[in-house]
Amino acid sequence: MATMFRYPVFPHLQDSRDPGLSLSPGRSVMAEPDFLEGDCDQLIKPKKLINPVKNSRNHQDLHRELLMNQKRGLAPQNKPELQKVLEKRKREQVLKAQKEEQEAHKKRSDLEIELMKRQQKLEQLELEQQKNEEEQENTPEFVKMKSNLRRTKQETDGEERTT
């Protein structure tokens, strides 16, 4: 007579202090189905879904080729270290050459540089003028009048000194 397996499936659960966590000797970890084998005539049985990628001819051919290459030792991941380093250097050289070509196209002539400087100066002057106009609009009326009186006084004083 075969004896039943007496030791628990998970010994660390038996050693725990909570007796509810330990498994009884006849109990398994898997959940029991809630129906019997003969009772499921009226139930709809689930069917395994078909994966269209695995059923495609191209995928099957590719998978077969990869398996054969792996058996031969020709897996694409197994490149020699020297070959990896050389490919990396070549990629870096190509990227560097592309960057140099882009920089050559981006180089500007002296005339273009001068025009850009002038344009920046004009933009700065316009910004300063706008700031001055905003400040004048925001100042109260009596401050404007006071500055106008000072200007007229300075102009009259300047005319008296010249004569």
As a whole-number percent, the residues of the chain with pLDDT over 90 amount to 18
Q: Which helix (H) or strand (E) holds 130?
A: helix 110-138
Q: Is 5 helix (H, G, I), strand (E, B) or coil?
A: coil
Average pLDDT, the chain: 77
Compute the average pLDDT of residues 100-109: 80
Lowest mean pLDDT among 18-22, 53-57, 157-161: 18-22
The predicted pLDDT at position 16 comes to 47
Tell me the pLDDT band of 163, cut-offs 50, 70 and 90: low
Please list, in sequence order, all residues whose beta carbon lies within 8 angstroms of the beta carbon of residue 54, skipping any fewer than 6 positions away.
60
| Residue 77: C-alpha distances to residues 66, 89, 151 (Å) | 11, 18, 84
Question: Could you tell me the pLDDT band of residue 1, with boundaries at 50, 70 and 90?
Answer: very low
Burial of 67 (0-12, 13-18, 19+ CB in 10 A): exposed
In a 13 Å sphere around the CA of 101, the CA atoms on its Cβ side amount to 6
73-102 average pLDDT score: 85
Share of the chain above pLDDT 70, in %: 71
From 23-27, 67-71, 96-100, 154-158, the region with the lowest mean pLDDT? 23-27
The confidence score (pLDDT) of residue 125 equals 96
